[in-house]
Amino acid sequence: MELSSFQRTTIQHQFDRFAKLVIAGEAKKQKKELARRGSNEKSFSELSQKEQDRLCMEDVYPSECYCFTVAGYDVLVKSEAVGEALSNLPKEKRDVILLAFFLGMNDGEIAACLDRVRRTVCYQRTSSLKQMKDYLEDYQYGE
């Protein structure tokens, strides 16, 4: 059975209408998606310098910083002044400072890790901080 020209024209119009509805629906969906993204996203040109700095990441190479090994951990210190101050400390005191401030351990954990008495660790930490403070003040004022 063959379709008449009227039936073919009707089918073409129906198909055209269906295609237009699908395209209109997709356009509406795309517009809605862009509006949703626009409310949640910012382009980089809209960010302030402070926000851009927060998003960036710098590569840290061991040759550009001081590297200390304590209790099986490698600790990288970027600051030249702090690295020099730590280098000037005796190894026992340096280990206590590195474990306390760079690895976030408390005196009890440090004592267990280094096989020392907690009070000794506390004393070494406070005396090391005083020594570092003196060194950094001299470093700052160029004495």
Amino acid letter, residue 39: S
Model pLDDT, residue 21: 96
pLDDT digit of tens for each residue in the chain (143 aa)?
A: 788 999 999 999 999 999 999 999 999 999 999 888 888 887 878 888 888 888 877 776 667 788 888 888 888 888 888 888 888 888 889 899 989 888 888 888 888 888 889 999 899 999 999 988 988 888 777 65
Q: Cα-flanking dihedrals φ and ψ of residue 75, to 5°?
A: -115, 125
Question: For the whole model, what pTM was predicted?
Answer: 0.56
Query: Going by C-beta distance under 8 Å and a sequence separation of 6 or more, which residues neighbour residue 105?
Result: 99, 113
DSSP state of 69: E
DSSP letters of 15-56? HHHHHHHHHHHHHHHHHHHHHHHHHH---GGGS-HHHHHHH-
